[in-house]
Amino acid sequence: MKDENFDFEERWREESRKMFDTSEARKAFQNVFDHSTSMALLKLSEQGVIKKLYGTIESGKESVVFLADTEEDERVIVKIYMNRAGSFREMKKYLRGDERFRNVKDDRRTVIQEWCKKEFRNLKKASNVVKCPEPLAFRDNILVMEFVGEEFSPYPKLKDVEIENPQQGYKQVIDNISRLWNEEELVHGDLSEYNMLVDDKGVLWWIDFSQGVHFNHPEAEELLKRDIKNIANFFERQGADTDVEKDYKRVISG
């Protein structure tokens, strides 16, 4: 064990110098993440999943999002969940109610790893019905996925773009919420104008699927209602007519 750690320190010193674009990016990573996260990152680098890590795009309360390149020089997003996140109890509740994750152990590290795996699996399922980043790999608390953007910039969030036809946009999102629920048995759970990106052709990309749960989860219907409400509020401010109750019933009844 001691040797393995020693070996890790050596490898990390050497590899992390090459892996991070700048020493600031490397310091920023080391200030936030623990030893086991560095180990997971090193393994992903040794597998060629990540070659170069640029700075962070955004830091949320549970995760930090980095831009990176793979060995094939494909640009990707590396989303790293913080092992010390305070909302661990909430995460556990969301996991336990989901039949796919019912038997998860309850130590912090395992819960966060399963949370990361849940986002990976949700993205896979969601990609059958909506545009969303293709999940490429996960390891411990690190998720690697397709980058939705251009060069070094993610596409803008829905909240920051001008909407040409809000009525049509609203209908399209509700139809997709319905397909996600009825065909993939999934609810996004944190859907809003903050978690949708708009590409240069006006196509909506759904992101941030970590809260998503199976529709048998005890709180799934509540989350579905909230998603519809958030979306309705947004499109209504843009001038669309919406009816949350009616649309909720329509989704639930298939």
Ligand X SMILES: Nc1ncnc2c1ncn2[C@@H]1O[C@H](COP(=O)(O)OP(=O)(O)OP(=O)(O)O)[C@@H](O)[C@H]1O
Q: Is 62 in the site for Mg ion (CB under 5 A)?
A: no
Binding partner of residue 65 among ligand X, Mg ion, none, CB cut-off 5 to 8 Å per kind: ligand X
Structure tokens at 178: 């319905």
| Cβ 107 to Mg ion shortest distance, Å | 26
Binding partner of residue 166 among Mg ion, ligand X, none, CB cut-off 5 to 8 Å per kind: none
Strand pairing report for 63-69 and 52-59 = antiparallel
For Mg ion, the binding residue among 184, 208, 227, 247 (CB under 5 A) is: 208
C-alpha distances in Å from residue 144, one per residue of 47, 125, 168, 238: 13, 16, 32, 34
| Cβ 103 to ligand X shortest distance, Å | 23
Cα 41 from Cα 45, distance rounded (Å):
6
For ligand X, the binding residue among 53, 112, 143, 148 (CB under 6 A) is: 148
For Mg ion, the binding residue among 45, 113, 176, 195 (CB under 5 A) is: 195
- List the beta strands (DSSP E) in the chain: 52-59, 63-69, 75-81, 135-139, 142-146, 149-150, 153-154, 186-187, 196-198, 204-206, 213-214
Per the annotation, the verdict on 160 as an active-site residue is no
Between 113 and 195, whose beta carbon lies closer to Mg ion? 195
| Cβ 60 to ligand X shortest distance, Å | 2
| Cβ 251 to ligand X shortest distance, Å | 23
Q: Which of 21, 69, 175, 190 is catalytic?
A: 190
| Cβ 192 to Mg ion shortest distance, Å | 8
Q: Which of 137, 173, 167, 148 lies closest to 41 in space, CA to CA?
A: 137
Interacting residues with ligand X between 173 and 232 (CB under 6 A): 195, 207-208, 210
Please report how many Cα atoms fall inside a 13 Å half-sphere around the Cα of residue 69, on the Cβ side: 13
The alpha helices in 20-132, defined as continuous H runs, are 23-32, 35-46, 88-96, 108-126
For ligand X, the binding residue among 52, 108, 109, 154 (CB under 6 A) is: 154
Between 48 and 60, whose beta carbon lies closer to ligand X? 60
Per the annotation, the verdict on 208 as an active-site residue is yes
Between 141 and 195, whose beta carbon lies closer to Mg ion? 195
**DSSP character at residue 26:** H
User: Is 227 within 8 Å of 199 (Cβ atoms)?
Assistant: no
Cα 195 from Cα 183, distance rounded (Å):
21
Interface residues with ligand X (CB under 6 A)?
A: 57-58, 60-63, 65, 77, 79, 133, 145-149, 154, 157, 195, 207-208, 210
